[in-house]
Amino acid sequence: MASVMLGIDGVTVTEAEDEADGRLTVWARVTRPAACPECGTVSESVHQYVVTTPRDVRICGEDADLCLVKRRMECAVDICPRGTFTESVPQVPPRCTITRRLLEHAGAEVAGRGITPAEAARDAGISWPSVHEAFAGAAGRLLGDELAPVAYLGIDEHRRGRPRWRRDTDTGEYVQLADRWHTCFYDLSGNQGMLGQVEGRTSDDAAYWLAGATQDWRDAVEVVAIDMCNIYLSAVKRMLPHAKVAVDLFHVVQLAVKTTGDVRRRAIREKYGRRGKAGDPEYGIKHLLERNLENLSPDNFATIIDTLDSDREGQQIAIAWIAKEKLRDALKLRARITRSAPCERQVRDRLYALYDWCAQHDGIPELVSLAQTVSRWEDQIACAVLTGVTNATSESLNRLAKLEARLAYGFRNPANQRRRVRIACTRGTRRRTAR
């Protein structure tokens, strides 16, 4: 019964005793035919008994010391080059001092619960390198070697650590050794989480990673989601010429909200000759102007109209505010909101209405530049509205990547970091599919 409870194949418990310090000592011996590893002959002649103490998992939640008695056998075959050999079981291979199941448990703790290898090692009473190796093996099995095809790819920048510089002894100038910005790639349609990251955030950095993927993988990408940034746009055009590009709509709205704020600040300065402060009616509604129109109560709406309707400066702010809502009108056509497939003509018509509005009020320079920026990104905005692809997942996975770096107190080895981050990014999906 004790042997069954210990649960190591080929091992029989002979004795168990409670020590004075509360630990449990389990004595066991190997009971399976001992075959010579060289010639495969089963031997019966014992040369010596050896006691090993492999680290094992807790037994019923208690720390236990396993004393495993192994026999050193003599090979009975005369011509066999092997004189003696020690018997072993699969859980404790020759020359191993940790049971396989303890390693597996520690590796699974890191992969499944998100604790660090150092913490898992402390808990299991074994060393960091042992747990790390077990985790690397488990991660390899979970993630696979090759990236699966990705239909929607996200590219985003991500700040990590601090830049490092070195002074050039000849020129006296500082040379950058490590960039604090990384470019990260995400699987937005599947469940692979973060696919990879490269140091730097130039177009070449992004193209370099994309060039490392296979041609088949690149061909499978249908839509790429990026922030409103020309750098990644040119990298995508170079490496994924067939893919459509969707710009993240959050940043489009953010731009319009910022424009409204810029107009408000300039108008206040023109009206009062100073920056706005508490007590100015225009200053008082600044947070109302940032809200979505549909989230304003009738009172809020009336407050905005009353404040802005009275003078020329107020009317300028109102015009910028309306421009923001006109832009949002176009973005509101996405299927997530309307529950029906949007039509490209309609999206472009509504964007045209925004340009028209900005052109009618071209005395406001901020609106002109808003219209110019939006029209430059019109194709990418329309693509985002039509496909509904956003970079929101990238942003949330970024947070996971940062958390992982904090837990590790920073990484020295980029390969380890990539592995830990990818495991962290896919943990949620793994849990859901296991359920």
Binding site for Zn ion (CB under 5 A): 36, 38-39, 75, 77, 80, 82
Q: How far apart are CA 130 and CA 121, in angstroms?
A: 8
Residue 41 CB, shortest distance to Zn ion, in Å, is 5
Nearer to Zn ion, 34 or 226 (CB): 34
Closer by beta carbon to Zn ion, 39 or else 118: 39
Could you report how far apart the first and last alpha carbons of the chain are, in Å?
32
Least spacing, CB of residue 9 vs Zn ion, in Å: 23
Cβ closest to Zn ion, residue 39 vs residue 115? 39
Alpha carbon distance 108, 120 (integer Å) = 9
- Residue nearer to Zn ion on the CB measure, 86 or 375: 86
Is 278 buried (19+), middle (13-18) or exposed (0-12) by CB count in 10 A? exposed
Closest contact distance (angstroms) between CB of 94 and Zn ion is: 15
State which residue, 77 or 96, has the beta carbon closest to Zn ion: 77
Give the nearest distance from C-beta 12 to Zn ion in angstroms.
25
**Residue with smaller CB distance to Zn ion, 39 or 253:** 39
Minimum CB separation of residue 32 from Zn ion in Å reads 17
Amino acid at 396: S
SS3 of the chain: CHHHHHCCCCEEEEEEEECCCCCEEEEEEECCCEECCCCCCEECCEEEEEEECCECCCECCECEEEEEEEEEEECCCCCCCCCEEECCECCECCCCCECHHHHHHHHHHHHHHCCCHHHHHHHHCCCHHHHHHHHHHHHHHHHCCCCCCCCEEEEEEEECCCCEEEECCCCCCEEEEECCEEEEEEECCCCCCEEEEEECCCHHHHHHHHHHCCHHHHHHCCEEEECCCHHHHHHHHHHCCCCEEEECHHHHHHHHHHHHHHHHHHHHHHHHCCCCCCCCHHHHCHHHHHCCHHHCCHHHHHHHHHHHCCCHHHHHHHHHHHHHHHHHHHHCCCHHHHCCCCCHHHHHHHHHHHHHHHHHCCCCHHHHHHHHHHHHCHHHHHHHHHHCCCCHHHHHHHHHHHHHHHHCCCCCCHHHHHHHHHHHHHHHHHHHHHC
Q: What is the smallest separation between the CB atom of 77 and Zn ion, expressed in angstroms?
A: 5
Please, which residue, 79 or 415, has the CB nearer to Zn ion? 79
Give min distance, CB of 83 to Zn ion, in A: 9
Q: Which is nearer to Zn ion, 80 or 296 (CB)?
A: 80
The answer to whether the CB of 180 falls within 8 A of the CB of 163 is yes
Least Å distance between CB 43 and Zn ion?
8
**Measured from the CB of residue 73, what is the shortest distance to Zn ion in angstroms?**
9
Nearer to Zn ion, 45 or 254 (CB): 45
Give least dist CB 54 to Zn ion, A. Answer: 25
**Looking at beta carbons only, is 74 or 104 nearer to Zn ion?**
74
